[in-house]
Amino acid sequence: MTGTRLHELGALEQAAAVRKGEVSPVDLVRHHLARVEQYDERFGAFVTRTAEAALSEAAALQEKGSAGEPSALFGVPTAVKDLVDTAGVRTTYGSRAFADHVPAVDAHSVTRMRAAGTISLGKTNTPEFGCCCYTDNDVVGPARNPWDPTLSAGGSSGGAAVAVALGLVPVAHASDGGGSIRIPASVCGLFGIKPSRGRVSSGPTGTDVTGLAVQGPLARSVRDAAALLDVLAGPEPGDPHWASPLPDGETFLGHADRSPGRLRIGRYATPVAEGVTVDPACRAAWDHAARLLEDLGHVVEDIPNPFGPEITDHFITTWSVQSLGHPLDAEREELLRPVTRAWREYGRGVSGARFAAAVTGMQHAARRAVGATQQYDVVLTPTLACLPQTIEHFDESGDPLVNLHRQSAFSAFTSPYNMTGQPAVSLPLYWTDDDRIPVGVSLVGRPADEATLIALSAQLEEACPWRDRYARLLAP
């Protein structure tokens, strides 16, 4: 640790330092809270900070000691996305309508993180109800890109991505219903895992009307993300979906240290939505990743987009109904932002028959797409069709439809894999020509096969390391 500041260490490195007695959980929490104090106001990572509770929890863990602790992340600071309930902590869902909401119970994911000995510093910024691919709300304002604060940090896990990229925490909880882990991972230069449907429980109070949304990790390294996925993963009684578990004795972190073998990889870079142009830098990142994969001995083949244009309407219909998951009276409905209200208004007009047809159509499209790519171990796509956009690009003061069209063009590649429920990751393997802005690429795995994605991602990280890129953000 000589010459290295605590926030420059990864999550697993911090936990190892705790186990060796080189640093205490209290030391880690104090250091990261100071970092939050220094950067949060400018970059908008947090909605609610829980400094006092974090220090108290760290002291209790310190007194308990790490001897015999099964978790690889014992004593590590983290944060929880503000869409997920945390008992006794203000949880706003990014909305003024819930500005004073304090849940009585923890989400299962929060319970698991606490049981693993991680220490939450607070709730990270998210757009209202997680409806958008950027992070801005009327509670604390926008999450700003750590590489360029004039740009959006993406969404809906934008606050979590900012916190990790700036070293406010080494690893963070996030969620993804249409790209909300992969989008901010791409624009903030992180590694993010959207797990398989049913890998992480949304209970006990979270809803899963459409099966689109999952919870997962954001981190600066593959191994750190895999370690947090080990903490989060596992079904709970009553869950509507269960992903097949790893064999006994295996962990996702263990797969980060395994060779993936020689894989057959399909790739495409044509969005299903008409009129969407892929930015040359996003396509260059995709080409760069394909060459890396071939250099590593994998077989890469061009394939057609396995989805048809009908999925756009299916997603819009199901997403609009899902946006109604927070019941509100008329007075509190008026507190919502224009795009949220537009989603909910559209959802209220969807009949039961139309909703059932959209869900059915989405499932049929998912089956066709998985069947069309079943001969491939992994599918490679751009994460996004556009480079990071300015905060103003997603302004909500005008026609909500203009905003929604801009979102659709920006995130054209992500939502199909929420429909299939397949695991997907975004990797920071490429930067713009001026070396200023990260451009992610996405790998999609077979259903319930995060293990192969993690092994392959770790291999790519070793071949094209990105850790030194963060020096610019972590140095100040």
**Cis status, amide bond into 156, omega within 30 of 0:** yes
Tens digit of each residue's pLDDT (9 = 90 or more) over 306-353: 999 999 999 999 999 999 999 999 999 999 999 999 999 999 999 999
What integer pLDDT is reported at residue 209 of this predicted model? 84
Catalytic annotation on 123?
no
Tell me the C-alpha distance between 191 and 182, whole Å.
Answer: 8
Tokens of 299: 């077989």
Residue 15, SS3? helix
Q: Which of 81, 152, 194, 415 is catalytic?
A: 81
Delimit the domains of the chain by residue range: 6-474
- Name residue 430's beta-bridge partners: 439
Q: Which residues of the chain have pLDDT under 50?
A: none
CA 367, CA 365: separation in Å to the nearest integer? 5
Q: What is the CATH number of domain 6-474?
A: 3.90.1300.10
Residues pairing with 299 in the sheet: 264
**Which element (helix H / strand E) includes 414?**
none
Give 351-388 pLDDT, tens digit per residue: 999 999 999 999 999 999 999 999 999 999 999 999 99
- Burial bucket for residue 356 (CB in 10 Å: 0-12, 13-18, 19+): exposed
pLDDT of 2 reads: 56
What confidence score (pLDDT) does residue 314 get?
Answer: 96
Burial class (CB in 10 A: 0-12, 13-18, 19+), 4: exposed
Instruction: Give the model's pLDDT for residue 211.
Output: 94
Contact call for residues 11 and 113 (beta carbons, < 8 A): no
Q: What is the pLDDT of residue 84?
A: 98
* Predicted local distance difference test score (pLDDT) of residue 1: 57
Among 66, 95, 152, 156, the active-site one is 156
pTM of the model: 0.98
| Burial (CB count <10 Å: 0-12, 13-18, 19+), residue 68 | exposed
SS3 labels along 188-252: HCCEEEECCCCCECCCCCCCCCCCCCEEEEEECCHHHHHHHHHHHCECCCCCCCCCCCCCCCCCH
Query: Is 20 annotated as catalytic?
Result: no
Phi, psi of 461 (to 5 degrees): -60, -40
